Amino acid sequence: MSELLHITIDGKDCTCEKGEYLWDVAKRNGVFIPVFCRSDAFPDHRACCRVCIVEVEIRGRSKVVTSCVYPVEQECVVRTDSDRIKEERSVVLGLLAARAPEAQRVALLSKINGNDGFERLTVLDGEKCILCGLCVQACESLGTSAISTVNRGVDKEISTPYGDPSSSCVGCLSCANVCPTDAISYTQTADTRTIWNRTFQLVRCEKCGTIMGTVESVAHAATRAGLDEAATLCDECRKKQIADEMMPAYRLS
């Protein structure tokens, strides 16, 4: 059985297992700690944005830690919004705001935190990406790896190889859906979807007409599921079809 610890977060008594990450403890107990690089879809993707810093006090001594990778090993007092944290978080947000001045979530959190960035920093005009890496994680999890981090320094970005249309991309939008700052743009018509400089043909459910994805993404999903053919029905219609097929047998039983 795991050892249970009692800690205090912003004056609230909380119980956690020894070794549990502090950010997870706070979330479970309804304490908000801002973060950009966390997603329920990829719980192991952590510590990329550093926004979730908090102050931890143990036996009268305090330190600043990154809560999403800080394991609670003993009883402690946690402050998520102290003056010290506001000051240090303002530095992190200032760097992110310079990196991605068009990211509205960064600007909003900066305003809430009481700072508007730092004038001395070079601003990348028109940029929204904070390089959290969630989009790359999403792409890798699908086994496509169509995008990755390229270049260095201020030229560092997320892109396909050489910025060209990638033959590995299936146009599934997993990258765009997981992005915390809406940095990945795409366009869509009734029949096509364009993302990462490549245009895909859309597939619709043959029964209700709902968009199921691109030809490539539907085929890729079938391959990963070990199916011989790509699906032609959306999830809802497929469930209904199965229910309809089972109903006669149910009535005879």
Residue 217 pLDDT > 80: yes
Query: ∠ CA 130-26-178 to the nearest 5 degrees?
Result: 30
CA atoms within 13 A on the CB side of 95: 10
Q: How far apart are CA 105 and CA 92, in angstroms?
A: 14
Which residue in 99, 109, 8, 14 sits closest to 62, CA to CA? 8
What's the whole-model pTM score?
0.88
Q: What are phi and psi of 42, to 5 degrees?
A: -135, 75
pLDDT at 200: 98
Span 77-94, pLDDT tens digits? 999 999 999 999 999 999
